Structure 1
Amino acid sequence: MRKEDCFYLGTIVSKFSFKGELLVKLDTDEPEAYSKLESVFIALGNNLVPFFIERCSLQKSSLLRVKFEDVNDEADAESLLKSELYLPLDFLPKLEGNQFYFHEIIGFSVQDERFGAVGTITGVNDTTSQALFEIDKDGKEILIPINDDFILEVNREDKVIKVDVPEGLIELYLS
């Protein structure tokens, strides 16, 4: 399994018991959707290694308490601390309407109500307080905040996102 075929689920943040249990900080809005996992991939070096789960349960709001098979003591658990967990992309629930996963919109065209064709989404910058569409227009980068108020339609069939951004925002990048 390759990372490109998976999505990031979370990171192992601490040991929970002396019997090898671990706490995973989940990167999701719906942690309960992952409380019955049977296996995950753990990034070890440059590889994704499958680990089977004996049991798991939610611990507080976004922490998952996990007992992996063959991780039976503190030393085994210690070796997995700070490791990232991944699941195959097909585990993601299908989104509808104007909801989307960042990875799924790469390559979509962006159309603005006033401006017209803006360009093609090359990535999403989610390292800022507001996630941004990274759009290429003839070699120039345009950044548009991913804001529900700006997104009019996500057309998966035609791979187009229609937006209505504040007047002048797009032009700032082109002058």
Structure 2
Amino acid sequence: MRLEDCFYLGTIVSKFSFKGEVLIKLDTDDPEEYLETESIFIEVLPQKLIPFFIEKSNLQKSNLLRVKLEDITTETEADALLKKDIYLPLNQLPELEGNKFYYHEVIGFNVTDKNYGEVGVIKSINDTTAQALFVIEKNEKEILIPINDDFILLLDKKNKTISLDVPEGLIELYL
């Protein structure tokens, strides 16, 4: 499995028992959705995903998943997995309704604005800032628009378009 075919689910943050159990800090709003997961991919080396099968799992606190992995039976084996990132295939992402989307889904979407008209094409999402941003390209110029539910009028996944209503003058700042 390639890393680009997967989504980040969380990180192994600690051991739980002397029998090789680990705690995974999940990066999700709905940790319950992952209780029945049968396998995960662990990034044991950079860009190198290894599949592991789950014998049992349950939630600890709100976003910690306690997991017993097949073939991990000792503390030493569990130690080797600490601080490793966990991934699942993209096809296991729950389907989102309405104007909700995963960042990877909207790359390549055409963007229009209620007042400005045709804005450009989403080239990437910048989520390294306090506010995630659409990175839109128009005529070789970069336009940054905050990802804000109040700005999104319509998300059309079928036609790969997003209609926005951004504050007046924001788009013009970049052109």
TM-score range, shorter chain: over 0.9
Question: TM-score if structure 1 supplies the norm length?
Answer: 0.97
1:21-60 superposed matches below 5 A = 21-45=21-45, 46-60=47-61
State the shift of 1:169 in Å. Answer: 0.4
Is 1:21–1:67's contact at 8 Å kept on the other side of the alignment?
Answer: yes
Measured against aligned partners, the alpha-carbon deviations of 1:54-102 in whole angstroms (never above 9, x if no partner) come to: 1111111111111101111110000001111110111011112101110
How far apart, in 2, do the equivalents of 1:139 and 1:31 lie? 41
Structure 1 moving runs of 4+ over 3 Å:
none
Q: Secondary structure at the match of 1:169?
A: coil
Measured against aligned partners, the alpha-carbon deviations of 1:109-145 in whole angstroms (never above 9, x if no partner) come to: 1100111111110111112221111111111111111
How far apart, in 1, do the equivalents of 2:22 and 2:94 lie? 25
Q: Does 1:18 align with 2:22?
A: no
Structure 1 gaps of 5+ residues are none
Measured against aligned partners, the alpha-carbon deviations of 1:37-61 in whole angstroms (never above 9, x if no partner) come to: 1100111113111100011111111
Measured against aligned partners, the alpha-carbon deviations of 1:132-163 in whole angstroms (never above 9, x if no partner) come to: 11111111111111111000000111110000
Q: Does 1:148 align with 2:140?
A: no
Q: What letter matches 2:15 in structure 1?
A: K
Q: How many residues align?
A: 174
Percent identity, aligned pairs only, is 66
How far apart, in 1, do the equivalents of 2:20 and 2:32 lie? 22
How large is the Cα RMSD of the aligned pairs? Answer: 0.8
Structure 2 gaps of 5+ residues are none
